[in-house]
Amino acid sequence: MNQPTPEQPADVVARLRATFRSGRTKPVEWRTGQLSRLREMLTTYGAALAAALHADLGKSSTEAFRTEIDFVVREIDHTLEHLEEWLRPEPAPVPAHLGADATGWTRYDALGVVLVIAPWNYPAQLLLAPMLGALAAGNAVVVKPSEMAPATSAELARLLPRYLDTDAVAVVEGGIPETTALLAERFDHIFYTGNGTVGRIVMTAAARHLTPVTLELGGKSPAFVDRGADLTVVAERLARGKFLNAGQTCVAPDYVLTDPETARALEPVLTEAVEKLYGADASTSAEYGRIINERHFDRLSGLLDSGRIVVGGGTDRATKYIAPTVLADVDPDAPVMREEIFGPVLPIVTVPGLDEAIDFINDRDKPLALYAFTESDTTRERLAAETSSGGLGLGLPLAHLTVSDLPFGGVGESGMGNYHGRYSIETFSHRKAVLEKPLS
């Protein structure tokens, strides 16, 4: 039997644009209806999605629900609760020279057809969270899941059309050729999550059509540990944040920055924290994930001799397992410090004190997150004021991105634009200025 010819990108976009032009996506009831359907999909097929995430990344079901499925459900609920309030026109004071009867306000207009390109590390969350923001803002959306997480991509391509309005939401699966073909089309906004190299390709393609972009990129997020911090708490939180999803988290603490004395004291407590989380042999823990593919496994294995192994170091290529690993005595120029690690390797780098730590951070690309563990108000304030990063986590890694009322995004090399909650509405809308002066 002949396979049906897949719809060409130009036809997909034209079809969605026609729906947008028809006005169907604009009423708030359509938007909330789509979000409710998405919620139903996630609650009905959560287990199927979790199985796909396990197949792609060895993600445990607990982790799949916590960091992907339930995460998106929470974001939907928050949006459903506040959408009307977020969309409300905002009155603006009008200057006296326009007369007392003149009024001004801003209104949120949907943009049109949005393209969302997702990565493989949280392949469900990072596709669905921007998509639901774009729908809530009244747009039609083309979503492109990552081909590197094929089970999740296939599951999303199977489920989304069953639940959502297929004239307004299209799933296009594929890798570089399919994405390149999509990028040739004109979109009204492109939302890309992934690495900076492809981010530049996306932005170049978008420039041809003067399409605005949101780039959610990565980088090396430092974790500064101050003298006198409670190291048992610090180690437990660092290990949880770092080794979640086997370290393949864009906001994972990339490396620890601390003074030599604290570095030494951290070694045994980090070892304890890792063993408490995953046992003495993480390869037997159901909670510990695997590396996405052989290419990344080989890249990460090559970083293990960048320092002295404090804990971990074990690998198994057949199962793409890399043990949660802490490296000490790491030279700032070692290979592990030259690229975003994006895996379960935590180097400890030492600096004499806070001044040098601030210089160390500012000498490098602006990170997606900066974490600091300190009891000192002055240190917190100095780090906040004297460095630049997408987000700042004081005392707890990763958690800022779970707060729907906080904007999530990078700065400089870690990206541009942000989303979550009302910030998604800002991203996927045009804020239109309206001035009215009655004729009589």
Which residues would be at the binding site for ligand NAD (CB under 6 A)?
117-121, 126, 144, 146-148, 175-176, 179-180, 193-195, 198, 201, 216-218, 250, 340, 342, 368, 410, 415
Question: In the complex, what is the shortest distance from the CB of residue 131 to ligand NAD, in angstroms, rounded to a whole number?
Answer: 13
Question: In the complex, what is the shortest distance from the CB of residue 182 to ligand NAD, in angstroms, rounded to a whole number?
Answer: 8
What percentage of the chain's residues is helix, strand, coil (to nearest 5)? 45, 20, 35
Which residue's CB is nearer to ligand NAD, number 121 or number 306? 121
Concatenate the DSSP letters of all residues of 200-224 into one string. HHHHHHHHHTT--EEEE-----EEE
Cβ atoms of 367 and 361 within 8 Å: the answer is yes
Cα–Cα distances in angstroms (integers) from residue 71 to residues 54, 78, 270, 349, in the given order: 17, 11, 28, 33
Question: How many helices and strands, by DSSP H and E, does the chain display?
Answer: 14, 18
> Catalytic one among 63, 155, 185, 216?
216
Question: In the complex, what is the shortest distance from the CB of residue 26 to ligand NAD, in angstroms, rounded to a whole number?
Answer: 28
Which residue's CB is nearer to ligand NAD, number 113 or number 311? 113
Cα–Cα distances in angstroms (integers) from residue 106 to residues 12, 83, 109, 188, 435, in the given order: 32, 16, 10, 20, 9
Distance CA 310, CA 329 (A): 10
Question: In the complex, what is the shortest distance from the CB of residue 72 to ligand NAD, in angstroms, rounded to a whole number?
Answer: 14
Question: In the complex, what is the shortest distance from the CB of residue 147 to ligand NAD, in angstroms, rounded to a whole number?
Answer: 5
3-state secondary structure of 340: coil
Question: In the complex, what is the shortest distance from the CB of residue 129 to ligand NAD, in angstroms, rounded to a whole number?
Answer: 9
Query: Is position 275 annotated as part of the catalytic site?
Result: no
Which residue's CB is nearer to ligand NAD, number 138 or number 194? 194
> Catalytic one among 68, 250, 340, 413?
250
Paired sense of beta strands 103-110 and 90-92, if any: antiparallel
Distance CA 356, CA 345 (A): 23
Distance CA 385, CA 382 (A): 5
Question: In the complex, what is the shortest distance from the CB of residue 151 to ligand NAD, in angstroms, rounded to a whole number?
Answer: 14
Paired sense of beta strands 213-216 and 189-193, if any: parallel
β-strand partners of 321: 316
Which residue's CB is nearer to ligand NAD, number 245 or number 379? 245
β-strand partners of 70: none
Nearest residue relative to ligand NAD (C-beta) = 218
Alpha helix stretches (DSSP H) within 146-230: 150-163, 176-183, 196-208
Amino acid at 434: V
Cβ atoms of 142 and 8 within 8 Å: the answer is no
Cβ atoms of 140 and 25 within 8 Å: the answer is yes
Query: Is position 261 annotated as part of the catalytic site?
Result: no
Which residue's CB is nearer to ligand NAD, number 148 or number 225? 148
Which residue's CB is nearer to ligand NAD, number 415 or number 421? 415
Which residue's CB is nearer to ligand NAD, number 25 or number 245? 245
Give catalytic residues, as residue numbers.
216, 250
